[in-house]
Amino acid sequence: MIVKQGIPVSAGVVIAPAFVIGTEDYRIPQRFVTIDDVDQELERFQAGMKLVCDELSEHEELASEQLGKQYGAIFAAHLQMVQDPKMIGEITELIRDKCYSPEYATTKVLQQYAKLFQNLGNQYFAERAADIFDLEHRMLKHLLGERREDLLHLTQPVVILANNLTPSETANLDKKFVLGFATEAGGRTSHTAILAGALEIPAVVGIGDVLSQVSGGETIIIDGYTGELIIDPDEKTLERFEKVVHKHQQHIERRKSYADLVPETRDHVRIQIMGNIEFPEEVDHCLERGSDGVGLYRTEFLYLQEGKEPNEQVHYEAYKRVAETMQGRPVVIRTLDLGADKVPGALEKLLFQTTNPMLGLRSIRLSLQNQPLFKTQLRAILRAALLGDIRIMFPLVSTLRELRQAKMILSDVMEDLEEEGIAFRRDVPVGMMVEVPSAAILAEQFAREVDFFSIGTNDLIQYTLAVDRADPNVANLYSAGDPAVIKMIQLVVDAARRENKPVTVCGQMSSEPRFLPVLIGLGIRQVSVTPAMIPELKEVIRNLDIGTSEEIARHVASLDSARDVENYLRGELHKLCPEYAEEFDF
């Protein structure tokens, strides 16, 4: 039995066999082939290279079109490199004469070139090795092709163990067989965490080395409450966890009865609880729990699922489904919130050239620089808005100019639709995420130009404290309870109140029961949370009154460290909802 400790990111407990997704992105299944297979393997190599060339040409075209010729030129150069007769000759020779598998031969030759570049002694040329590695990955991707997909082909319920799941890997997983996730890397806001939350299955991330100790098929326990991962549990442990699983199920059953409860404080102030969703299917999770709407519809998966840019119809169908299912309840659609690295097709290259993607071209910045991409999404939103209470939200706005530009593009899109005679809704409310300190500081100016705010605490904490939670060396500095973060929220709430604009909190912070009293005390009356947390939060709200909440907020303002704030809030939650706290062993 091996016990590992990670960060719990999605609640629940599961016991199931392990399914391991390799440590290396491109595990080479076979190094050598038999002499009889050589001709066939050579053909496979050529076919693979043709796919690589097609992909690069497509990228070249896309990049030139959307980003300018200089970006297209990078792909054109890659295209020439993969067609390099000498390199192709060397790979072919290894396959033919040494019976190397095409994958192994490719890696061999490209790694040698990369090493040559690294040794050239000139920094600029040495960095070209990265281009070679990129080519290597691209070639392997096409050579491995279906074999790689096979890895993700599931036939029975499992828990997934991986170093770090990429969006495309998770998109390809057959979700009905996945009962839990555990990853070596990643933090609370990692992709795995979001996906596990969306699927409502337990997940633990940031475990550190574990793949070297499993080969697949072992019995695994994932405890999404404590962050424990247990490999090959002994009988006693297994028995203990079977009880926990049972209790968890009971707990879920009990919470189901909360769907019809109204989230109202003891002094009859109605708090709006909405759900954060990623996939259209999740609206059902929201409705089951009596959600007041969808406060944050992340649209990134539309971009990640297909491996290429979604067209207007793909957007429209997704928004239509959500709007119709929510039957007139508000649905806040957040426009693309990805870094350039995550956008399929040509744009991935941009990240290659930036050193700090979190401060680089992402989110609204990416949309403003890629208007065709942005306009496609806006058109679909405006059209779908006829089917329900859809609202538009721009992410990561850091200057008024960006907000004005985004709004201007939105009116351009309206004009286009009108000219084309396509039906859409003109008076769609337009809001913005407040997740950059500059937006919080200038909240009053921003409030005059938007219909609503939504505070994205994950990024607001990251940018306020300059901490990347995924970095274990500094992760302990990341806290929603930090006095600076609380003050930022206060700034936004006060500014919005003066301008009479609503504010929602939609980050992880609002899904954590202990922070709810202080948020309400600060003046928040709307939260948007992980759907699974809606029943719990309703229970907390029904035990609160505004006076107590304001007192809690006042006391928090007097504290000067994140730890004091968190401890105090934990204690207050104990006092407010002893039953709840006991159940979760706070």
Which of 59, 191, 248, 315 does the annotation list as catalytic? Answer: 191
Residues in the chain: 586
Whichever of 91 and 366 has its CB closer to another protein, that residue is 91
Of 1, 3, 47, 120, the one binding another protein by CB under 8 A: 120
- Give the N- to C-terminal CA distance of the chain in Å, as an integer: 27
Query: Is residue 215 a contact point for another protein (CB under 8 A)?
Result: no
Whichever of 87 and 194 has its CB closer to another protein, that residue is 87
| 577 is known as an active-site residue | no
Shortest distance, position 345 Cβ to another protein, whole Å: 20
Whichever of 122 and 156 has its CB closer to another protein, that residue is 122
Shortest distance, position 68 Cβ to another protein, whole Å: 9
Binding segment for another protein (CB under 8 A), chosen from 114-122, 184-192, 333-341, 348-356, is 114-122
Shortest distance, position 31 Cβ to another protein, whole Å: 12
Alpha carbon distance 277, 53 (integer Å): 37
Query: Is residue 93 a contact point for another protein (CB under 8 A)?
Result: yes
Helices (H), 326-436: 348-352, 363-369, 371-384, 400-419
SS3 content of the chain, % helix, strand, coil (to 5): 55, 15, 30
Residue 499 identity (one-letter amino acid): E
Residue corresponding to tokens 């290894």: 94
Shortest distance, position 23 Cβ to another protein, whole Å: 23
Cβ neighbors of 475 (< 8 A, separation 6 or more) are 187, 467, 468, 469
Give, as one character, the DSSP assignment of residue 472. Answer: T
The residue among 575, 580, 572 whose CA lies nearest residue 535 is 580
| 553-582: contacts with another protein (CB under 8 A) | none
Query: Is residue 112 a contact point for another protein (CB under 8 A)?
Result: yes
Shortest distance, position 112 Cβ to another protein, whole Å: 5
Alpha carbon distance 202, 184 (integer Å): 15
How big is the CA angle at 213 (ends 205 and 7), to the nearest 5 degrees? 15
Whichever of 93 and 583 has its CB closer to another protein, that residue is 93
Query: Is residue 139 a contact point for another protein (CB under 8 A)?
Result: no
Q: Residue 434 corresponds to which tokens in the numbers above?
A: 């407040």
Cβ neighbors of 24 (< 8 A, separation 6 or more) are none
Query: Is residue 355 a contact point for another protein (CB under 8 A)?
Result: no
Q: Name the helix (H) or strand (E) containing 246.
A: helix 235-256
Shortest distance, position 115 Cβ to another protein, whole Å: 8
Query: Is residue 407 a contact point for another protein (CB under 8 A)?
Result: no
Neighbours of 4 (CB within 10 A): 17
Whichever of 122 and 212 has its CB closer to another protein, that residue is 122
Residue corresponding to tokens 């965490």: 193
Burial 101-116 (b: 16+ CB within 10 A, else e): bbbbbbbebbeebbee
Of 36, 124, 421, 473, the one binding another protein by CB under 8 A: 124
Query: Is residue 70 a contact point for another protein (CB under 8 A)?
Result: yes
How big is the CA angle at 334 (ends 444 and 356), to the nearest 5 degrees? 80
Query: Is residue 28 a contact point for another protein (CB under 8 A)?
Result: no
| 506 is known as an active-site residue | yes
Asked if 550 and 518 count as a contact pair (C-beta separation under 8 A), the reply is: no
Whichever of 107 and 454 has its CB closer to another protein, that residue is 107
Asked if 454 and 420 count as a contact pair (C-beta separation under 8 A), the reply is: no
Query: Is residue 346 a contact point for another protein (CB under 8 A)?
Result: no
Pairing of strands 228-231, 219-223: antiparallel
Whichever of 215 and 355 has its CB closer to another protein, that residue is 355
Binding segment for another protein (CB under 8 A), chosen from 115-123, 206-214, 260-268, 385-393, is 115-123
Whichever of 300 and 348 has its CB closer to another protein, that residue is 348
Query: Is residue 57 a contact point for another protein (CB under 8 A)?
Result: no
Binding segment for another protein (CB under 8 A), chosen from 105-113, 236-244, 245-253, 284-292, is 105-113
Query: Is residue 138 a contact point for another protein (CB under 8 A)?
Result: no
Classify residue 534 as exposed, middle or buried by CB count within 10 Å of its CB (0-12, 13-18, 19+).
Answer: buried
Which of 59, 99, 285, 506 does the annotation list as catalytic? Answer: 506
Q: Give the residues lining the site for another protein (CB under 8 A).
A: 70, 73-74, 76-81, 83-87, 90, 93-94, 108-109, 112-113, 116-117, 119-122, 124-125, 128, 131
Catalytic site residues?
A: 191, 506
